[in-house]
Amino acid sequence: MKTITFYIAALLLLSFGSHAQSWTVLTSGQTEQFNSVYFTGKDTGHVMGEQGALMRTLDGGATWNKQTNPALSSMCGSVFMTSNGTGFVAGRDHAGTCQGGQQRILLLKTTNAGANWNCVNSGLAFNANWLRGNHYPTAMAGWSVGDMGTIVTTADGGTTWAYQNQSTSYMFRSVFFVSATTGWAVGSVNNTNSLILYTTNGGTTWTPQTAGTTQVLNAVYFVSATTGYIAGNGGVILKTTNAGTNWVAQTSGTTNNLNGICFTSPTVGIVVGATGKAMRTIDGGTNWVNMNSNTTNDLRSVHMPSSSTAYACGITGTIIKCVVTTGMENYDLSSSLSIFPNPSADGIFNISSEARIQRIEVCDLSGRVVMGAADENISRIDLSGYAKGVYMARAFTDRGVIVKKLIF
């Protein structure tokens, strides 16, 4: 029996309903271009972008405070927060503030959920390229990708770094790992042709995959070890259900460049792009429905801290928010998933499933995402090291999303 010990994870458990949803424009107080948004819960989030802009909210976007950036003139490409309050920003340090006065790649780190950011001395040889995407599947393992084939990685939470550079004709825009070994990096070749690279050994080697399009690819997101989505220029949305062996084009209904994509389940997701384009799907991309973003500004990034809430950001200080009030996920798909004993006296829960589990998460009731596991062999949840209370288990299966209440 395989035991997976989970840190407490979470998503609020509403999904996008069948009705079109509109967005609210939030007041950022800034005019810089924002390139990336990331929320660790329904209220706490970060956006960052040009001219060293680092913003944080603690109240769901009602107010935004500018955080101190040690590299003031930097260009911030991507922000990612790991489960324990640690986060990283990747970009380019124009003035060399963090790297001894030399223009180099920018890496910033926080250990207090973004209250303070500090320069990371990567120890890497000179590289003035711009890092545009980063992802951390665990608190220790992470990757940042960017221009001129640049890939940098850490296996110890940012203490030490190494290059995994590829051809200088490769212009990476986004990276996503489903584990410490398996991931994808997407972008373009010379800004004129699509690029997808795939690794199963933590980036020691990267293998090209066929996109089936020549458009530049801007964002990649996986919901399980096998199912993922890519958004790109010209309205391109690609989907795979076999870890990228095949990428299939979906009908987006737009020719706008699409810059950001995020999913909260195999079926529920949002994509954003040029001139305020925002669309959502509730059927795994079979249908993409336009949303009223209430802005014509280009949107660069989207993040969904729960399936009922989404944030997007873009040029001229744009931040928008969508809260969905219609629709519920199915809390129990009959008896296809059983978690027992429940209540559990010791926090040990056994899993029995007729459906094939692709990914499972555990959450408390605060909505703060902490950890998920993509493993078809999961047979036990161990919460014995955590406080007694009510938790939610959320399983992504081949039959749909199943949510169960856990009492410990």
Q: Do residues 398 and 285 share a domain? A: no
Rounded-to-integer distance, Cα 162 and Cα 143, Å: 10
Q: Do residues 50 and 191 share a domain? A: yes
Task: Report the CATH number that the domain containing residue 278 is assigned in CATH.
Answer: 2.130.10.10
Query: Which residue, of 323, 350, 374, is where some domain finishes?
Result: 323
Q: Do residues 303 and 342 share a domain? A: no
DSSP annotation string for 3-44: -EEPPP---------SS--B-EEE-----SPEEEEEESSSS-
Question: Identity (one letter) of the amino acid at 323?
Answer: V
Q: Do residues 90 and 207 share a domain? A: yes
The answer to whether residue 354 scores a pLDDT higher than 80 is: no
Burial-class residue 228 by CB neighbours within 10 Å (0-12, 13-18, 19+): buried
Collapsing DSSP to helix, strand or coil, 86 comes out as coil
Q: Rounded to an integer, what is the distance from CA 354 to the centroid of its chain?
A: 29
Collapsing DSSP to helix, strand or coil, 233 comes out as helix
Q: What is the CA radius of gyration of the chain?
A: 20
Q: Is residue 332 part of a domain?
A: no
Per-residue pLDDT band at 83 (split at 50, 70, 90)? low
Q: Specify the pLDDT at position 193.
A: 95
Rounded-to-integer distance, Cα 338 and Cα 350, Å: 8
Q: Is residue 329 part of a domain?
A: no
* Per-residue tokens: 275: 């001139």
Rounded-to-integer distance, Cα 144 and Cα 154, Å: 9
Structural contact between residues 89 and 130, judged by C-beta atoms closer than 8 angstroms: no
Q: Do residues 127 and 159 share a domain? A: yes
Q: Do residues 125 and 24 share a domain? A: yes
The answer to whether residue 334 scores a pLDDT higher than 80 is: no
Q: Is residue 8 part of a domain?
A: no
Rounded-to-integer distance, Cα 55 and Cα 405, Å: 35
Structural contact between residues 134 and 80, judged by C-beta atoms closer than 8 angstroms: yes
Q: Is residue 302 part of a domain?
A: yes
- Torsion sign across C-alpha atoms 120, 304, 337, 398: negative
Q: Do residues 261 and 375 share a domain? A: no
Question: In this structure, are strands 4-5 and 380-382 parallel, antiparallel, or unpaired?
Answer: parallel
Q: Is residue 229 part of a domain?
A: yes
Q: Do residues 221 and 363 share a domain? A: no
Q: What angle do CA 72, 73, 79 make, to 5 degrees?
A: 75
Q: Specify the pLDDT at position 380.
A: 83
The answer to whether residue 17 scores a pLDDT higher than 60 is: no
Q: Is residue 131 part of a domain?
A: yes
Q: Do residues 299 and 204 share a domain? A: yes
Q: What is the pTM of this model?
A: 0.76
Q: Is residue 104 part of a domain?
A: yes
- Torsion sign across C-alpha atoms 11, 12, 16, 21: negative
Question: Per-residue pLDDT tens for 318-328?
Answer: 999 998 754 33
Task: Report the CATH number that the domain containing residue 401 is assigned in CATH.
Answer: 2.60.40
Q: Do residues 246 and 357 share a domain? A: no
Question: Any idea what DSSP says for residue 115?
Answer: S
Mean pLDDT, rounded, of the chain = 85
* Per-residue tokens: 320: 């928008």
Q: pLDDT over 70 for what percent of the chain?
A: 85
Tell me which of 56-60, 263-267, 328-332 is least confident.
Answer: 328-332
From residue 132, alpha-carbon distances to 45, 106, 218 in Å are 19, 10, 10
Q: Is residue 313 part of a domain?
A: yes
Question: Per-residue pLDDT tens for 245-279?
Answer: 999 999 999 999 999 999 988 888 999 999 999 99
Residue 43: which domain range?
Answer: 19-323
| Phi-psi group of 264: left, alpha or beta (phi > 0 → left; psi -120 to 50 → alpha; rest → beta) | alpha
Question: What are the beta bridge partners of residue 65?
Answer: 56
Higher per-residue confidence, 43 vs 277: 277
Query: Which residue, of 299, 323, 347, is where some domain finishes?
Result: 323
Query: Which residue, of 283, 298, 323, is where some domain finishes?
Result: 323
Tell me which of 39-48, 166-175, 355-364 is least confident.
Answer: 355-364
Q: Do residues 135 and 246 share a domain? A: yes
Q: Do residues 231 and 278 share a domain? A: yes
Q: How many domains does the chain have?
A: 2
